[in-house]
């Protein structure tokens, strides 16, 4: 392997390692989001989502940087030195799958909470309408309240 190919492989390994590290952070944040949803701490959940979005943007930048190196290493490699790169890619895939599963769980939890809140709001709205109808049938003139019975 030439010095250029070796340098590219080393740079790619660094980028993929950093990418894996960021995905690990996302996984930890997603696990924390499960706990936040269980505690109904929606504000903290939203803050966590914003932080996760920043990490995703950082990963996109790393991915743009690593794509040309990945193509170059694939075309010049004989397979021996790519084992580290392949391991990093496989670990990254595993972490992404975990994140996707946790994210699906969070989405189901949010969907359930949303449906529950909508039902509760509808019930309260129906009760208010019922009270409003009753209140209209009761006279509320000042004379009614000023009279002594």
Cβ distance 12 to 85 under 8 Å?
yes
Which pLDDT belongs to residue 63?
86
Within-domain flag for 144: no
Within-domain flag for 143: no
Tokens found for residue 71 = 């193509």
Q: What is the CATH number for 63?
A: 1.20.58
CA distances from 20 to 24, 34, 46 (A): 6, 21, 23
* CA 5 remoteness from chain centre: 37
Within-domain flag for 145: no
Within-domain flag for 142: no
Query: Tokens 């003139």 sit at which residue?
Result: 141
Say if residue 112's pLDDT is above 60: yes
Within-domain flag for 18: yes
Within-domain flag for 111: yes
Within-domain flag for 148: no
Range of the domain at 129: 3-137
Within-domain flag for 62: yes
Domain count, the chain: 1
pLDDT digits (tens, 9 = 90+) for 43-90: 999 999 999 999 999 999 998 988 888 887 777 765 555 788 889 999
pLDDT digits (tens, 9 = 90+) for 32-51: 999 998 898 889 999 999 99
Cβ distance 31 to 102 under 8 Å?
yes
């Amino acid at each position: 392997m030439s010095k250029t190919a070796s340098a590219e492989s080393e740079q790619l390994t660094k980028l993929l390692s950093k990418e894996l590290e960021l995905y690990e952070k996302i996984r930890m944040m997603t696990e924390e989001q499960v706990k936040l949803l269980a505690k109904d701490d929606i504000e903290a959940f939203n803050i966590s989502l914003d932080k996760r979005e920043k990490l995703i943007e950082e990963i996109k930048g790393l991915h743009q940087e690593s794509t040309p190196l990945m193509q170059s290493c694939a075309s010049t490699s004989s397979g021996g030195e790519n084992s580290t790169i392949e391991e990093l890619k496989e670990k990254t895939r595993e972490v992404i799958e975990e994140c996707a599963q946790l994210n699906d769980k969070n989405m189901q939890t949010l969907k359930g909470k949303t449906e529950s809140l909508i039902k509760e709001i509808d019930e309260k709205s129906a009760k208010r309408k019922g009270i409003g109808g009753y209140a209209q049938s009761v006279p509320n003139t000042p004379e009614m309240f000023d009279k002594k019975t």
